[in-house]
Copies of this chain bind each other. A is one copy, B any other.
Amino acid sequence: MRIVLATRNAGKIAELRRILDFDIVGLEAFPEIGDVKETGLTFAANALLKAHAVAQQSGLPAVADDSGLCVDALNGMPGIFSARWSGRHGDDQANLDLLLAQISDVPAEHRGGAFVCAAALALPDGQERVVEGVLRGTVISEPRGSGGFGYDPVFVPEGSERTTAELTAAEKDAISHRGLAFRALVPVVREVLT
């Protein structure tokens, strides 16, 4: 069974291929499908918006994810706005710099947070499923590490002394919010599609 993953990010496609033994194709196979506006108010809503749009336009089952960093002292923000927190979508450095400046006075014991990922499956007939993965941790004030992307250099998962930017890809996959969500989606996809 062929499934479209609603992303042009090669890393995400490879990750989903590693854990789901279906024929995964990315959006690059569907150049006619444009970007979907993420107007939802939750990760799950945005993941479903994207999955439905791609399922409708491709005529194939579609998987999409939406994820971000939820900082306790910011009431769970940047959350769904993580990738555009500074107002400039995808500017990782500006987003990270802004977050650190905002919580610069927040003491270490109140710098908890979580990476959250919603992974959604939508079928051309309108069926949908959505699951979430959560990785709790702490936001540190000095970035460390060069792996990953986004807020990885300032996020230390619970039980770790390294930031998610200091983990190998395999170590990160094993505990990450996206790994958790994609793995939780596997039995759901199998049940719906077979």
Contact = CB atoms under 8 A, between A and B. Distances in A.
A187 to B, nearest CB: 31
Interface string A51-83: 000000000000000000000011111010100
Contact of A38 (B74, B84, B98, B105): B105
A37 interface: yes
Contacts of A85: 102
Nearest to A81: B102
Oligomer copy total: 2
Nearest to A99: B87
Interface in A93-145: 97-98, 101-107, 110
- Residues of A contacting B: mostly: loop
A79 B77 CA distance: 11
22 contacts: A37-B105, A38-B105, A39-B106, A39-B107, A41-B106, A74-B77, A75-B75, A75-B76, A75-B77, A75-B79, A77-B77, A81-B103, A84-B101, A84-B102, A85-B102, A86-B98, A86-B101, A87-B97, A87-B98, A87-B101, A87-B104, A98-B98
Interface of A: 37-39, 41, 73-77, 79, 81, 84-88, 97-98, 101-107, 110
